[in-house]
Amino acid sequence: MTNKRGAAAAAALCLALSACGSDVNTVRWSIGGGDAPAPTATVPVECGGEQALTGEGSTAQKGAMDVFIAAYTRQCPGFQMSYTASGSGAGVKQFVSGIVDIGGSDSALKAEKGEVEDAAARCGGNPAWNLPLVFGPVAVVYQVDGLTDLTLNGAVLAEIFSGAITRWNDPAIAALNGGTALPDLPIAVVYRADESGTTDNFQKYLTAASDGAWTKGAGKTFNGGIGQGGQGSPGVAEAVAASRGAIGYVEWSFAQDKGLRMAAIDSGSGPVPLSVESARKAIEAATIKGKGNDLVLDLDALYASDSPGAYPLVLVTYEIVCSTGYSPGTVTAVKAFLNTAATAGQAGMTESGYVPLPDKFQSRLLDAIAAIR
């Protein structure tokens, strides 16, 4: 995040926290601006236990984690949380290896890859839970001189990222952008070179929204077979910014930081630009398919939706935690951090390129946090 954005987030947090310095503090929060309804919650936060928590994983949630950590250190003076943004794949590996207390991933643990079983083993034979804490849209970013407005859809994006469409003036792109002069310029695809939950979600979107044009499946590794890889979200944003004719996918906050142009998406009900409101409309339609307090979301229907005014290309970042199996001190600290993140930490989400927790997710999330033992 930029210094300006970090300062804005810090200021918001100072206003949001109602008490600091005590062992048990009550957190209330609000977010201004009027462009994203804020959930309302009051929860007790028991500060204590391990003084230094660790987390690792998703680069998509790095800006949000910066805000959460600032809220936590204010809420619980003397306690710290350090987070390494190394990608979702690394976050899962570090969590199941017991190296970090919390793993950050843009995709839920996958049973078919052995992640569910490995995580349970790390948690002393107890299930690990996927807790949706950060919601953020994925921007389709591009760098084409003179092209300030661009509309794409799932089918065209699938053909671009699989190499079936190779030039910007292709008739399929022109059909979605009637009246816009498109250059006869090669398309330079940029993708995430590292294992990434953002890539997984992007490919899931292409599968659901392309009417069969994307046949390469999903997963944390890009399957398109073309283009240039960028390391992490910053690497993709930098490569798109530096490459004439480039197109890529990156979390909204990174697109904002680089000042990149972002395509609108037409899911069948007209072009929808990316905004807090349009992303929130899509997020509110998502449902939970996980059992009990394992809050895995069913995003397939969301990605294929043609709801008017909804920007469907969004991802959720999960915090992967042990339901049971931490040391007593770690349990106390993990719950204090997560409760703060889910309440006071939501102040500043909009400014940092994310969407504040919808009410129904915040309520379920707080219940799950309370159940960690």
Is there a single domain that holds both residue 107 and residue 18? yes
Is there a single domain that holds both residue 51 and residue 187? no
pLDDT digits (tens, 9 = 90+) for 274-329: 998 999 888 887 889 999 999 999 888 789 888 899 999 998 899 999 999 999 99
Is there a single domain that holds both residue 249 and residue 351? no
Helices (H) and strands (E) in the chain, counts: 13, 16
Give yes or no for residue 37 having a pLDDT over 80. Answer: no
Query: Which structure tokens are listed for 255?
Result: 């697109």
**pLDDT attached to residue 33:** 34
**pLDDT attached to residue 197:** 83
pLDDT digits (tens, 9 = 90+) for 41-83: 668 899 999 999 999 999 889 999 999 999 999 999 999 999 9
> Would the annotation count 166 as a binding residue?
no
Is there a single domain that holds both residue 115 and residue 185? no
What average pLDDT does the chain have? 88
Q: Which of 264, 282, 300 is the last residue of a domain?
A: 282
pLDDT tier, 148 (very low <50, low <70, confident <90, very high otherwise): very high
Distance CA 252, CA 272 (A): 15
**pLDDT attached to residue 42:** 66
> Would the annotation count 170 as a binding residue?
no
Instruction: Count up the domains in the chain and report the number.
Output: 2
> Would the annotation count 198 as a binding residue?
yes
Task: Using alpha carbons, select from 111, 88, 135 the residue that is nearest to residue 320.
Answer: 88
Q: 350: domain range?
A: 3-136+317-370
Distance CA 82, CA 189 (A): 34
Distance CA 90, CA 88 (A): 5
CATH classification of the domain holding 196: 3.40.190.10
> Would the annotation count 18 as a binding residue?
no
Distance CA 330, CA 316 (A): 25
Query: Which structure tokens are listed for 236?
Result: 């993709």
Locate the DSSP E strands across 212-346: 228-230, 246-251, 261-262, 264-266, 271-272, 287-288, 297-298, 314-322
**Pairing status of strand 151-152 against strand 264-266:** parallel
**pLDDT attached to residue 124:** 98
Higher pLDDT, 121 or 232: 121
In the chain, % of residues over pLDDT 70: 89
**pLDDT attached to residue 233:** 87
> Would the annotation count 60 as a binding residue?
yes
Strand partners, 43: 27
Give yes or no for residue 12 having a pLDDT over 70. Answer: no
> Would the annotation count 224 as a binding residue?
no
Is there a single domain that holds both residue 268 and residue 325? no
Enumerate residues 6+ apart whose C-beta is below 8 A from 34. none
Distance CA 75, CA 45 (A): 8
Return the residue matching tokens 């197109």: 247
Q: What separation, in Å, do the N-terminal and C-terminal C-alpha atoms of the chain show?
A: 34
Give yes or no for residue 2 having a pLDDT over 70. Answer: no
Mean pLDDT along residues 88-115:
95
**In a domain? residue 97:** yes
| Identity at 5, one-letter amino acid code | R
